[in-house]
Structure 1
Amino acid sequence: MSRFSVFYRIFASNLDEATERAEGIALEQTVEIPRDVVPKGYIEDVILGKVESVAAEEDGAYLAHLTYSPDSTGAELPQLLNVIFGNSSIQKGIRVVGFEPGERLSADFTGARFGIAGVRERVKRPTGGLIAPVIKPQGSDADTLAAIAYAAALGGADIIKDDHGLTDQASAPFKTRVEKVAAAVARANRETGGHSLYFPNIAGRGEDLMDFARFAKEAGAGGALVMPGLFGFDLTRRLATADWFDLPLMAHPTFLGTYVLSDTLGFTHAVMFGVLQRLAGADISIFPNVGGRFGFSAGECLSIADACRSPDGIGRPIFPSPGGGMSVDRAQDMRAMYGDDVVYLLGGSLLRHADRIGETIRDMRARLA
């Protein structure tokens, strides 16, 4: 049986303390009982987490490699996340820095349905960066949002996504908005021969989400935006594995920031926005870009991009999607930084050119070329 690996950075005063903390993680993440009362046999030999190694990284930091049995998770993504970092996430001085699924979990969690190659096929753009304007702001009516989407599609946008703040508000109810925006994008595609895809935000009350996803599919959406920080990574998994849905998924980072902003707690940027998004089945992972208003460093952003695109990662490589402060003026610098397999978000900066959205998108395309 193939065990899976989780790598933790543990902060401790010495190796003995780090090893003791690692043994505590092994107990906490699985049996959650004192070591001396762990039942012999199957529970001790298989279910109990195992400390494979603990090694010093730098003063006060130690890298611990633990393995767990897939029997402790079943084929359930929430329980897998619970084993990776459930109760231990409530303790100080522990950070998840790596995850390797092993053979059995790789069969249970196959990752993105489309990945980079599949999304490129849908938008008919075999090379180069993809451009993804965001329709906003919240409070706009559905006709206003549809007009922005229409202009973006005429300009040759690859993906047109709802802002993550557009849910089911009275100003633009989900079904009304999706119907009008999808129709506007389809009309622009007919007029230009283009292949722009509309990604509505699957959000609202939890009990409405599957109905909204079905409605979006039937209305002509070309993909969907999901927010795992608010609705759980399992929503991503459900849609990624649903044969009736069969649309690419873009994951938004809202509510996930506190998991990565500490150097001594939570997850590394690469694990949260690369590894876990691939595990859940996202095809595109949005994250705050360097130089914007959120403060991610260039190294952190590149680590996310590498985790998204690594051929050794979970399932198919997926698109990294930097956003927040993205503009046409930064296009060439961002291409030099990220390369071609990337989805560039254009939000508020695009709306500064409201009367010439299409021209702005074409300008960005030229600068990325």
Structure 2
Amino acid sequence: MSRFSVTYRLRAADRAEALARAEGIALEQTVEIPRAVVPAGYVADEILGRVEDLSPLGPDLWQAMISYSPDSAGAELTQLLNVVFGNSSIQQGIRVTGIDLGDIVAARHPGPRFGIEGLRRLTGATGGMIAPVLKPMGLPPEDFARLAAGCVRGGADIVKEDHGLAGQPTAPFRARVEAVARAVSEENARSGRRALFFPNLSGRPEEIEDNLRFAKEAGAGGILVMPGLFGFGLVERIARDSALDLPVMTHPAFLGPYVLAPDTGFDHGVLFGTIQRLAGADISVFPNVGGRFGFTVAECAQIATACRSADGPGLPMLPSPGGGMSVERAADMQAMYGKDVVFLLGGSLLKDPSRIDMAVAAMRNALDKAQTGG
């Protein structure tokens, strides 16, 4: 268990080609030199990737399991991901379908700070959670604050900013965060609820640390991060910060190309489940089946399983499907995902912003009824 392993699906005409491709990956992801010139001893025996298993999956498809030394990854998450699928991601016909960290690497990356149970303690929620999304860009801070207050009145567990809200002139990050956090706190106090506000982290690289501290001090209950743009290393940095002590929700913006082509990238569960947990996310947002992005039932189920599996990295986390949610689909979605889930509620809530509390309450009631079988 000292080595960690990655499972790849390869396109190859026969076993000989599949083995050559697997051995090529083992070289490319570690020493990146021809096998004939790999130094004997420690480099050849420990650092060089090892093809541990090769088996057929179907016509022209093979599965290869390759193990790597923890020394090749070191303690950095970015280097670990580089070993998993660095240069080989630029080649066609290679897809990552599984990652097994092993004991040593797993200990280096503890994963989510809160996980499912931690978020239940914070929110008081016992069943499926709902998270209305504040949008669209172009509104002033006070409008977002009014929407947020209505969401809390309606029964939201989490009030999440849209990933497109950043530092626009109509609602700069700090002014918006301050206004919305205050509105959520005041409405929580009035209603006795414990809704959490997750602002979308934004700013230039040199501003990120200060913006994180500002969000915490302003009263944010969590933080939304786009690892496709900011990097998974930032997710881990936030998750490990005991002074911030904020749950992290990750958004899939910019990550689509990693999963959409069947012969390259990552399986959906690996990217939106395993890797998000490895980085320390407590909630992983992904496109829901029936929404406008076209993920299938099987792909969404794979993600949800990877998020919640007991043998994944660190604590189990909450899958958060977004898109295609409606009162009419509430029962079906509850049956599909169960109680350990955060349902994102988006544009359908904004038909009448002044009555967003009623729209959220209708969804809350539909999900509660589906959970209890009423």
Q: Same fold (TM over 0.5)?
A: yes
Q: CA deviation at 1:328?
A: 2.4
Q: Give the Cα separation in 2 of the matches to 1:209 and 1:289.
A: 30
1:221 aligns with 2:220: yes
1:298 aligns with 2:297: yes
What is aligned with 2:168? 169
Runs of 4+ off more than 4 Å:
none
CA displacement 1:312-352 (0-9 Å, x = unmatched): 11111000000022222211110011111000001101112
What is aligned with 1:239? 238
- Is the contact made by 1:327 and 1:350 (CA closer than 8 Å) also made in structure 2? no
Q: CA deviation at 1:185?
A: 0.3
Partner SS, residue 316 of structure 2: coil
- Report 1:69-84 matches (<5 A): 69-84=69-84
- Report 1:41-120 matches (<5 A): 41-120=41-120
- Is the contact made by 1:160 and 1:198 (CA closer than 8 Å) also made in structure 2? yes
1:204 aligns with 2:203: yes
CA displacement 1:219-253 (0-9 Å, x = unmatched): 00000000000000011000000111101110000
Q: Give the Cα separation in 1 of the matches to 2:227 and 2:151.
A: 27
Residue type at the aligned position of 2:294: G
Residue type at the aligned position of 1:94: I
More deviation, 327-336/57-66: 327-336
Partner SS, residue 7 of structure 1: strand
What is aligned with 2:34? 34
Residue type at the aligned position of 2:76: E
CA displacement 1:160-218 (0-9 Å, x = unmatched): 01100001111110110000000000110111111011000111212211111110000
CA displacement 1:56-103 (0-9 Å, x = unmatched): 011111000000001011110000010000000000000000000000
- Report 1:136-151 matches (<5 A): 136-151=135-150
What is aligned with 2:260? 261
What is aligned with 1:360? 359
More deviation, 245-254/355-364: 355-364
Q: Give the Cα separation in 2 of the matches to 1:223 and 1:278.
A: 16
Q: Give the Cα separation in 2 of the matches to 1:208 and 1:324.
A: 31
- Is the contact made by 1:249 and 1:283 (CA closer than 8 Å) also made in structure 2? yes
What is aligned with 1:328? 327
Q: Give the Cα separation in 2 of the matches to 1:297 and 1:99.
A: 22
CA displacement 1:106-140 (0-9 Å, x = unmatched): 11001100000000110011x21101000010111
- Is the contact made by 1:325 and 1:349 (CA closer than 8 Å) also made in structure 2? no
Structure 2: state its 5+ residue gaps.
Answer: 369-374
Q: Give the Cα separation in 1 of the matches to 2:348 and 2:205.
A: 32
Q: Give the Cα separation in 1 of the matches to 2:23 and 2:37.
A: 14
- Is the contact made by 2:154 and 2:364 (CA closer than 8 Å) also made in structure 1? no
What is aligned with 1:288? 287
What is aligned with 1:183? 182
Identity across matched positions, percent: 60
Q: Give the Cα separation in 2 of the matches to 1:328 and 1:351.
A: 14
Q: Give the Cα separation in 2 of the matches to 1:220 and 1:355.
A: 24
Residue type at the aligned position of 2:152: A
Partner SS, residue 260 of structure 2: coil
- Is the contact made by 2:140 and 2:171 (CA closer than 8 Å) also made in structure 1? yes
Q: Give the Cα separation in 1 of the matches to 2:327 and 2:280.
A: 30
What is aligned with 1:311? 310
Q: CA deviation at 1:148?
A: 0.4
Residue type at the aligned position of 2:93: G
Q: Give the Cα separation in 2 of the matches to 1:259 and 1:237.
A: 20
CA displacement 1:283-314 (0-9 Å, x = unmatched): 00000000110010000000000000001111
Residue type at the aligned position of 2:366: R
Partner SS, residue 259 of structure 1: helix
Residue type at the aligned position of 2:78: P
Residue type at the aligned position of 1:105: V
CA displacement 1:24-55 (0-9 Å, x = unmatched): 00000000000000000000001100100111
What is aligned with 1:129? 128
Structure 1: state its 5+ residue gaps.
Answer: none
- Is the contact made by 1:106 and 1:314 (CA closer than 8 Å) also made in structure 2? yes
What is aligned with 1:154? 153
Partner SS, residue 328 of structure 2: helix
TM-score, structure 2 length as denominator?
0.97
Residue type at the aligned position of 1:234: G
Q: CA deviation at 1:367?
A: 1.3
- Is the contact made by 1:310 and 1:317 (CA closer than 8 Å) also made in structure 2? yes
Q: CA deviation at 1:354?
A: 1.8
1:10 aligns with 2:10: yes
